[in-house]
Amino acid sequence: MIMAGQDSSAGGGPFVEFRALGPVEAVVGGRMVDLGTPKQRALLALLVSRVGRPVTVDVMLEELWEGRPPPSARTSLHAYVANLRRVLEPARERRTPATVLRTHGQGYLLDSRAVRVDVHRFCERATAGWHAWGRGDRRLALGEFEAGLAMWRGQAYAEVATATHVVPEVERLEELRLSLVEGRCAALLAAGAHEMAVAELEAFTQAHPLREYGCELLSLALYRAGRQADALAVLRTNQQRLARELGIDPRPALQHLESEILNQAPALDWQPPAPPVIRDLPTVPAPRTAGSAPDADVFVGREAALRRLAEALPAAAAGHGQVVTVSGEPGIGKTALLRRFAASAGVPVLWGASPEHVAAPPLWPWQQVLRTLAACCPQWPVPDPVAELLDSEVLRAGEGADADTATLRRFDAIVDYLTGASQGTPLVVVLDHLHRADTGSLRLLAHLADALPAGRLLVAVGHRSGEPALTETVAALARAETTGIVLGGLDVQETQRLAGAMLHREVGAHTAQALWDRTEGHPFYLREMVKQLTGEQRIEQPHTVPVPVPVREVVLRRVAQLPPSAAGVLSVAAVAGRHFDIDVVAEAAPVGIDAALEALDAAVAAGLVAEDQQRLGWFRFTHALTAEVLYGSTGRLRRAHLQRRIGQAAARSRAGETSEFS
């Protein structure tokens, strides 16, 4: 990494460090410099907020003089720029081009190749922290969260925090900061530091009373600190505030926590983290997913999918590289399958994944892959374009044809690096959660797929089915003769094995069938259901177990991602039953049949509903739990009215069929 005071690659000028998580500061040659008058500092803050992107003179005049620049404003602006250039490049000779604060078109920009900004390092710390949290490394996550929060000195871009062009960035950073505070407190709880977490969270929730996750963490911290009454008071105060100020109920997780506190559920008690398991593998095969517990390591079924992945590896080792995609609906077990394969691959596995909680820098999953490769194969030299990518604080695209040329060269260098290193040993590249990846990462994957026959690479990709953002990438991979694996649910026998392994006892075929009927073997739904089988009666009668709260949240989140019209039609369909006649549902909704069919198209694409292949016009919910959740989310009075309308519509439909065939 280039440090302040060293030459940059932008042309030999000084490498400047900016600090913008508070009042703007600049470090040149290892020393903090005087940035001048308030307006001059505000100008620099505006430029720092858009590093690598030009800011026009008109925008500067509008922001610095709040839309009313005096006649002399333009002259003053040019003087501010000249002063800043002297401060930022004190050794630059007269009449030589500026390399830090450059003229660009009708404005100016700070060259991203010549500066470093604490904002970018903060975002990287946040991303690394959430990655560590996601793979179960609570200690590393805590360190990353604390390192990121330590960079803050006040409001970001304080001099121009209310400027129209800066407000969105200020709000984004503040939201990310708050999420890191919550993440840090969650990590403290995981480490057993309950009292410390209480002190932090009491101040946090007072300042941000409507952040429900902070309230949830505070209540749990108080309970673990032996303050059960205070924990319940926090939840009830939050409930009253939400009802009074927003007219809404707390989210299901808070309601579930209140119930568990009242019942003093053992699951709330702190458990010391298990010691890490050391495996003799060439590389760490995969990050752990959030909340991974001993039960999450139970793996059953998927023999056919594992066999297809295993069969692709010898072909790749023989010089016939290929891509294998693993797709399916959320929670179906894509990551678990890839982890299982990676653990038994017997060759170096380079794992990259796209995060869910925060926006990642461009090419983030590929940066993970390439860093692992550099550590795994140090004898293979890292090309300069790849080294620049790994060393940069933030990767920003340029403009025009030059940027396209630079991108193509970088892609070629990455492909050459991967295929070249694979000549010494076959390599497996895993790209998980591809549906969250940035456009550049998708384009690089398509670029690599065309070159795979030249290397000993097996690229295994995991993504959700039916994601519109992946349409072009999936088409490009298909042209490269990709092998596709589509995961469905476990069968009844596998369901029985999974339940038995999780419960550490024999599970009867009747119980397994009942579990499968409600989940159709969906691994996430199934695991959550099995966790509810705490007593003998429940094991024998799993159909009486209420829908687990995590399942309910996942289902409602998936439905919320549909168009509002589709969500409304599904709510009516759930009252009609798991299997429903769309004509009856459309009449009871009431919506036109065309609108109802359009709504179902969206639900089918999302994997929530499937068409009945035997009866024209009939559909069914893919999982019975989806229908149960939607049914339970509909008020009793509304259900009663809907049931009456559905019954009337069904009677008219049957009467119409009878008259048609009489």
pLDDT at 414 over 60: yes
Contact 630, 557 (CB under 8 A): no
Mean pLDDT calculated for residue range 238-254: 85
pLDDT at 74 over 60: yes
DSSP 8-class letter at 155? S
Q: How many CA atoms lie within 13 A of 650 on its CB side?
A: 15
DSSP 465-499: TT-GGGHHHHHHHHHTT-EEEE-----HHHHHHHH
pLDDT at 152 over 70: yes
Mean pLDDT calculated for residue range 249-266: 85
124 vs 235: CA distance, rounded Å:
33
DSSP 178-200: HHHHHHHHHHHHHTT-HHHHHHH
pLDDT at 451 over 80: no
521 vs 518: CA distance, rounded Å:
8
Question: For residue 571, what are its two tokens?
Answer: 């709510």
Domain range summary for the chain, segments of one domain joined by +: 16-117, 119-268, 294-486, 492-544, 552-661
CA distances from 605 to 466, 523, 599 (A): 6, 20, 10
Mean pLDDT calculated for residue range 93-121: 87
Residue 534 pLDDT: 64
Closest CA to 17 of 92, 120, 163: 120
DSSP 550-589: HHHHHHHHHHHTS-HHHHHHHHHHHHH-SEEEHHHHHHHT
pLDDT at 479 over 50: yes
Same-fold call for 119-268 versus 294-486: no
Residue 182 pLDDT: 92
pLDDT at 39 over 70: yes
Contact 321, 454 (CB under 8 A): yes
Per-residue HEC secondary structure of 519-556 comes to HCCCHHHHHHHHHCCCCHHHHHCHHHCCCCHHHHHHHH
Contact 130, 358 (CB under 8 A): yes
pLDDT at 84 over 60: yes
Contact 325, 485 (CB under 8 A): yes
pLDDT at 662 over 60: no
Q: Angle between the 118-134 and 167-190 helix axes, to the nearest 10 degrees? A: 40
CA angle 591, 597, 602 (to 5 degrees): 115
Mean pLDDT calculated for residue range 124-142: 84
Mean pLDDT calculated for residue range 311-339: 83
Residue 181 pLDDT: 92
Q: Which contiguous run of DSSP H or E holds residue 80?
A: helix 73-88
Contact 559, 608 (CB under 8 A): yes
Placement of tokens 């992946």 in the chain: 470
pLDDT at 217 over 90: yes
111 vs 48: CA distance, rounded Å:
10
Question: For residue 223, what are its two tokens?
Answer: 């309970």
* Cis upstream peptide for 71 (omega within 30°): no
- Residues 294-486: name the CATH superfamily: P-loop containing nucleotide triphosphate hydrolases (3.40.50.300)
Placement of tokens 């505006």 in the chain: 46
> Average pLDDT, whole number, for the chain?
80
82-86, 294-298, 337-341 — which one is most confidently predicted on average?
A: 82-86
Question: For residue 219, what are its two tokens?
Answer: 């209540």
Residue 452 pLDDT: 74
Placement of tokens 């995969």 in the chain: 286
Q: Could you tell me the pLDDT band of residue 326, with boundaries at 50, 70 and 90? A: confident
**Fold for domain 552-661?**
Arc Repressor Mutant, subunit A (1.10.10)
Please give the model's pTM, rounded to 2 decimal places. 0.53
Mean pLDDT calculated for residue range 278-295: 39
Residue 295 pLDDT: 46
Mean pLDDT calculated for residue range 391-420: 62
Residue 13 pLDDT: 41
Residue 622 pLDDT: 84
CA distances from 494 to 55, 294, 509 (A): 60, 18, 11
Q: Could you tell me the pLDDT band of residue 405, with boundaries at 50, 70 and 90? A: low
Phi-psi category of 280—alpha, beta or left, where left has phi over 0 and alpha has psi -120 to 50?
Answer: beta
Count of C-beta atoms within a 10 Å radius of residue 401: 8
pLDDT at 275 over 50: no
Contact 507, 500 (CB under 8 A): yes
Q: Kindly give, in sequence order, each residue whose CB lies less than 8 Å from that of residue 198, ignoring residues fewer than 6 positions away.
A: 218, 221, 222, 225, 227
Contact 429, 460 (CB under 8 A): yes
Mean pLDDT calculated for residue range 356-377: 75
pLDDT at 47 over 60: yes
Residue 4 pLDDT: 34
Mean pLDDT calculated for residue range 647-656: 77
Q: Are strands 16-19 and 31-32 parallel, antiparallel or unpaired?
A: unpaired
DSSP 8-class letter at 153? -
Residue 50: phi and psi, rounded to 5, are -130, 45
Which of 21 and 634 is assigned the larger pLDDT?
A: 21
CA distances from 554 to 73, 179, 625, 626 (A): 55, 20, 11, 10
DSSP 8-class letter at 612? -
Mean pLDDT calculated for residue range 463-486: 79
Q: Which contiguous run of DSSP H or E holds residue 619?
A: strand 618-621
pLDDT at 293 over 70: no
Mean pLDDT calculated for residue range 22-37: 86
At the second CATH level, the architecture of 16-117 is: Orthogonal Bundle (1.10)
- Per-residue pLDDT tens digits for 191-216: 888 888 888 888 888 888 888 899 99
Placement of tokens 């016939």 in the chain: 320
Longest dimension (CA), the chain: 99
Residue 396 pLDDT: 45
Residue 382 pLDDT: 74
DSSP 291-316: T--GGGG-----HHHHHHHHHHHHHH
Q: Could you tell me the pLDDT band of residue 445, with boundaries at 50, 70 and 90? A: confident
For the CA atoms of 523, 528, 530, 533, the dihedral, rounded to the nearest 10 degrees, stands at -170
Which CATH class, in words, describes the domain spanning 119-268? mainly alpha
Contact 34, 81 (CB under 8 A): no
70 vs 398: CA distance, rounded Å:
34
pLDDT at 231 over 80: yes
Contact 609, 620 (CB under 8 A): yes
List, edge to edge, every strand of the sheet that includes 101-104. Answer: 55-56, 107-110, 101-104
17 vs 121: CA distance, rounded Å:
11
Q: How many CA atoms lie within 13 A of 141 on its CB side?
A: 25
